[in-house]
């Protein structure tokens, strides 16, 4: 009996049944074929293609098992890294999300018999931190990506620099306060002495602001002159104290203002020196990328496509240049395309993000390229950008 027509009820029913997960016992991992019932699985095992695959697997059985084990390990760790990051999570939660994909690698075709064995192996190999609890095994991904380590070191360095700046400003303020207190403590207190004349004929003159008096050599005038001298010296000492205190307060205010101004200037310089931080997402519309995943088959592997739309920063809807097919892919399944010199590119990361540029030359030794900015306020500037931070414009 031949196949049903495309729009016939039987064909529609078959397509509905084919969606989603099926029973594991009717799945052939070696041929990567899922059967819907026992009869279909039996027919598949008797087919010629399955027998040929059996002969190929019998020649080198470890090769197939190692391949499936590597694929299972890489896909599992990729899901753990992208979905949960470095959070501590139950291994069964990650496994259930992994097997929800219809085309996943089944564990019965790998070198691990159970999920517990695979979890223990991840801990021994240093891919994850594992610990056993009454509720089961928990895993925590260890991110050893050089870019992540560099970003963490840069954040730690910036935090340390901010702490150093705060300590420096605090020490500067303490030094200004200490100098102000020392200046106040050095005020000279006036010393009063008795008025004496060397000879009886000597005249004593007093200058009390606007008025002046001259005392003669009489006894009464000398007593009056002594009292007036004490009053004048006391008034002059109080005026000196007031002047000193006012000058100290003004000097202290000036010093405090200068310290604040210095702190403000340091903050401005620090803000000017800060550059835009690199981000994990680099997808942009209207750029040409290359598909690097093998899960879609050889039809799309290493083929170029144009990004039509970016969703949730890490997912892109691409259109294949050769076939025109539209696919929805994660950014980990794509890579940038480096055009020939003289072509226009778009910078995807770093301080010049979202700027268009012209490719001048390629430095294969340092994995970078020389670009001339073609947009923005720094138009015409020549910069060196790494391969993964720019891509060809569509």
Residue 131 has pLDDT above 50, yes or no: yes
CA–CA dist 282, 254 (Å, integer): 50
Residue 72 has pLDDT above 80, yes or no: yes
Euclidean distance between CA atoms 299 and 81, whole angstroms: 27
Quote the pLDDT of residue 190: 62
* Residues forming beta bridges with residue 392, ordered by sequence position: 345
pLDDT at site 310: 92
pLDDT of 270 above 50: yes
The percent of the chain in helix, strand and coil, each rounded to the nearest 5, is: 45, 20, 35
Terminal alpha carbon distance of the chain: 49
pLDDT at residue number 234: 54
Q: How far apart are CA 333 and CA 291, in angstroms?
A: 6
Asked if the model's pLDDT at residue 145 lies above 50, the reply is: yes
3-state SS class at 136: strand
Q: Which band of pLDDT confidence, cut at 50, 70 and 90, is reported for residue 25?
A: low
Among residues of the chain, what percentage have pLDDT more than 70?
A: 74
CA 387/CA 364 separation, integer angstroms? 10
Map out the domains of the chain with their CATH numbers.
21-141 (1.10.10.2030), 287-392 (2.30.30.30)
Number of CB atoms found within 10 A of residue 90's CB: 14
Would you say residue 13 has pLDDT above 50?
Answer: yes
The helix or strand, by DSSP H or E, that contains position 278, with its residue range, turns out to be none
Task: Quote the CA–CA distance of 19 and 174 in Å, as a whole number.
Answer: 72
Taking the CA of residue 98 as centre, how many other CA atoms within 13 Å lie in the half-sphere pointing to its CB? 24
Phi, psi values for residue 351, rounded to 5°:
-70, -20
What DSSP designation does 276 have? P
User: How far, in Å, CA of 381 to CA of 375, rounded?
Assistant: 10
Confidence of residue 210 (pLDDT cuts 50, 70, 90): very low
Q: For 221-251, how does the pLDDT look when each residue is reduced to its tens digit (9 = 90+)?
A: 444 444 544 555 555 555 544 545 555 445 4
* pLDDT above 70: residue 301: yes
| Range 108-131 average pLDDT | 88
Closest by Cα among 326, 314, 383 to 352 = 383
d(CA 196, CA 193): 9
Residues 6+ apart with CB under 8 A from 349: 278, 279, 282, 388, 389
Nearest Cα to Cα of residue 103 among 25, 51, 178, 29: 29
Question: Does the structure show a pLDDT above 70 at 20?
Answer: no
Residues with Cβ < 8 Å from 278, sequence gap 6 or more?
A: 147, 151, 349, 350
Please name which of 252, 269, 248, 247 lies closest in space to residue 169, comparing C-alpha atoms: 269
Per-residue pLDDT band for 215 (boundaries 50, 70, 90) equals very low
pLDDT higher than 70, residue 279: yes
Calpha distance 28→41 (Å, rounded): 8
- Greater model confidence, 394 or 17: 394
Q: Is the pLDDT of residue 168 over 70?
A: yes
> Does the structure show a pLDDT above 70 at 373?
yes
- Residue 345: what pLDDT? 93
Please provide the average confidence, as pLDDT, over all residues in the chain: 77
How far apart are the C-alpha atoms of 385 and 178, rounded to whole Å? 50
Lookup: tokens for 259: 């310290």
pLDDT tens track for 44-59: 888 888 877 777 777 7
Q: What's the chain's length in residues?
A: 394
Q: Quote the tokens at residue 36.
A: 């819907």
Residue for token pair 């029913």: 13
Phi, psi of 166 (to 5 degrees): -65, -40
User: Is the predicted pLDDT of residue 5 greater than 80, yes or no?
Assistant: no
| CB 344, CB 358: distance < 8 Å | yes
- Segment holding 360, helix H or strand E: strand 356-363
Gap between the Cα atoms of 296 and 311, Å rounded = 20
Q: Can you tell me the mean pLDDT for 20-26?
A: 63
Kindly tell me if the per-residue pLDDT of 213 is higher than 50: no
Tens of pLDDT, residue by residue over 147-156, are: 777 777 888 8
Flag whether pLDDT at 39 surpasses 60.
Answer: yes
Higher pLDDT, 270 or 66: 66
């Amino acid at each position: 009996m031949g196949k049903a027509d495309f729009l016939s009820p039987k064909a529609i029913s078959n397509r509905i049944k084919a969606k989603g997960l099926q029973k594991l016992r009717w799945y052939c991992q070696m041929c990567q074929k899922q059967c819907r019932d026992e009869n279909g699985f039996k027919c598949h095992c008797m087919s010629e293609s399955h027998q040929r695959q059996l002969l190929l697997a019998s020649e080198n059985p470890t090769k197939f098992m190692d391949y499936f084990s590597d694929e299972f390990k890489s896909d599992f760790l990729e899901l753990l890294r992208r979905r949960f990051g470095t959070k501590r999570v139950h291994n069964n939660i990650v496994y259930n999300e992994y097997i929800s994909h219809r085309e996943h690698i089944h564990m019965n075709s790998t070198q691990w018999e159970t999920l517990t064995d695979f979890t223990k192996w991840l801990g021994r190999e240093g891919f994850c931190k594992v610990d056993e609890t009454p509720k089961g095994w928990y895993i925590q991904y260890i991110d050893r990506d050089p870019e992540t380590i560099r970003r963490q070191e840069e954040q730690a360095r910036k935090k340390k620099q901010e702490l150093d700046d705060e300590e420096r400003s605090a020490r500067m303020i303490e030094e200004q306060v200490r100098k102000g207190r020392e200046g106040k403590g050095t005020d000279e207190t006036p010393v009063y002495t008795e008025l004496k004349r060397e000879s009886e004929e000597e005249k004593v003159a007093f200058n009390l602001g606007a008025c002046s008096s001259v005392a003669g050599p009489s006894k009464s005038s000398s007593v009056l002159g002594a009292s007036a001298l004490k009053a004048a010296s006391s008034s002059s000492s109080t005026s000196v104290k007031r002047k000193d205190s006012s000058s100290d307060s003004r000097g202290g205010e000036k010093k405090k203002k200068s310290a604040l101004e210095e702190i403000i200037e340091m903050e401005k310089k620090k803000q000017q020196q800060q550059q835009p931080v690199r981000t994990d997402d680099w997808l942009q519309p209207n750029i040409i990328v290359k598909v690097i995943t093998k899960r879609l088959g050889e039809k799309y592997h290493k083929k170029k496509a144009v990004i039509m739309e970016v969703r949730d920063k890490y997912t892109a809807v691409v259109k294949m240049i050769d076939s025109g097919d539209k696919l929805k892919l994660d950014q980990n399944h794509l890579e940038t395309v480096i055009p020939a010199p003289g072509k226009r590119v778009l910078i995807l990361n770093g301080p010049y993000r979202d700027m268009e540029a012209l490719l001048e030359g390629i430095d294969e030794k340092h994995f970078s390229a020389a670009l001339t900015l073609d947009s923005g306020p720094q138009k015409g500037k020549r910069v060196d950008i790494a391969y993964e931070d720019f891509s060809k414009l569509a």
